[in-house]
Amino acid sequence: MASGNIKIHDHSRVSPPSSTPQTSLSLTFFDLFWLRFHPVERIFFYTLPTPLSHPSTFFTQVVPTLKTSLSHTLRHFPTLAGNVVWPSDSPNPLIKYTLGDTVSLVVAQSEADFDQTLDKSPRNASESRALVPHLESSDSHAEVLSLQITLFPNRGFTIGISTHHAVLDGKSSTLFVKAWSSLCKTINDSGSEPESLPLAKGLQPFFDRTVIKTASELGLNFSNDLTEALAKMFPQENSDGRCLKLLPFLPRVEDADRATFLLTRSKLQKRVLSKWDLESESESKGVSKPATLSSFVLTCAYALVCIAKAVHGVEADKEKFGFGFTVDCRARMEPPVPDNYFGNCVWGLMVDTEPLGFIKEEGVVCVAKSTHGKIKEMLDKGVFYGFDGQLSKYETWIKGGYQILGVAGSNRFGVYETDFGWGKPAKVEIASVDRAMTIGLAESKDAKGGVEVGLVLNKDVMDLFRTLFHEGLSNE
């Protein structure tokens, strides 16, 4: 079986050890928001010395070690081997692990040029898609996790991960991958498989759902607005309230490029703060000039404005943009939720930048100012402040023909520390940014304090984006 430059070597199922107890977890209101959202897909790229990256050695030594450590890791994360289901007698869906449940693991081989794959400059967006596993879902159930290991003979390999967003957010997903890599490295370093593999301190997941208050306890009045909004977006799909099939947020690969760009905050911060009081942004009046701006604010403002100007430059009629992002609520709940809570604990915020503000001459200042203002409002008044207006604002954006921009990942996850025993990643991509107009963030592999920005754009838009991105920085 082959797909393009990919040849499937093996497709197996990996289970937790048989002693792993069966378990089920209810979905909280944080989880339910993502119930039919597209999978979150990441790819870790690793170089590997020639003896280990030769097919005969890789498939007989490296892959078995990855499989064994995965099984031991699933003992600590059993729900990842389970499924999202919705029993007829349950008011909400559940994540259920039953003895015999497994994780899909595809092992493949690629004939593509690995050095070209590692290159962060624009390349065909479809290339990464071949390295990402499919996550199965149907009306009645949905897988939680699927994996793909792809060998590039005599050069390196990739690990592609697809996760169900209703089960785990970015912090939880990263916790699992770090736990897996830690156990794998332990086996590598010891040269044998210990009888019991405990997780290192800080990598143990916390599953207790009682730490998450219900929406009503938080004073949030949920309705069917979200379900209705999704039904309007995908009218051909099953809109049954109990349907678990993931909605078809199809990846953009036709005539599209994927690339990764690097930003550092120092010069950008000086520029934005120097013009802070010159740009009067009506929605963010009263936001006093801060002493510093976070890397998140500066990165989003600069990257998203470059995207907006590139899109507008190629298609002049596209001039209205909106920006939303999620924040980790663990430390912001009362009482705080443990940092290793395993599930979703993120909440979306809609930024108040004027729709034409992204393409203004000083759009970076406009977006930075309104993003900083939204974060300050959240810190001062609580993460759920203004909840009632969020969905109506989103509907206004949709009806107004806005291009909605988003963010995935974080430069605080430490993805470049993920060492399975053969070294740290040469590159990490959030593949699923091609399913929406989203940028993927990670800490820089090479530049201390830098942020990597991954994105997928139409080829013409990417060409203009690259020009605007580099010219804007060279003018600093």
- Give the DSSP letter string of 270-308: HHHHHTTTTS--GGGTT-PPPS---HHHHHHHHHHHHHH
Q: Which residue ranges in the chain fall short of pLDDT 50?
A: 1-3, 281-284
Q: How far is CA 439 from CA 167, 241, 442, 453, in A?
A: 22, 30, 10, 6
Instruction: Name the pTM for this structure.
Output: 0.95
**Residue 1 has what pLDDT?**
36
Q: Which residue is associated with the tokens 């593949």?
A: 431
| DSSP three-state, residue 269 | helix
Residue 419 a catalytic site member: yes
With CA atoms as reference, report the closest residue to 128 among 250, 41, 39: 41
| DSSP three-state, residue 452 | strand
**Residue 284 has what pLDDT?**
47
With CA atoms as reference, report the closest residue to 250 among 421, 400, 397, 39: 39
Residues 6 or more apart whose CB falls under 8 angstroms from that of 304 comprise 321, 323, 358, 367, 405, 439
With CA atoms as reference, report the closest residue to 325 among 356, 304, 343, 354: 304
Residue 165 a catalytic site member: yes
| DSSP three-state, residue 311 | helix
DSSP symbol at 144: S
> Of the residues 54, 419, 460, 463, which is catalytic?
419
> Which domains, from first to last, does the chain contain?
2-233 (3.30.559.10), 256-474 (3.30.559.10)
> Of the residues 38, 72, 76, 165, which is catalytic?
165
SS3 content of the chain, % helix, strand, coil (to 5): 35, 25, 40
Query: How do residues 186-238 score in pLDDT, each as one tens digit?
Result: 998 887 776 678 899 999 999 999 999 998 898 887 655 555 666 666 777 87
**Residue 226 has what pLDDT?**
56
Q: How far is CA 291 from CA 268, 284, 370, in A?
A: 14, 17, 16
Q: What are phi and psi for residue 452, nearest 5 degrees?
A: -90, 135
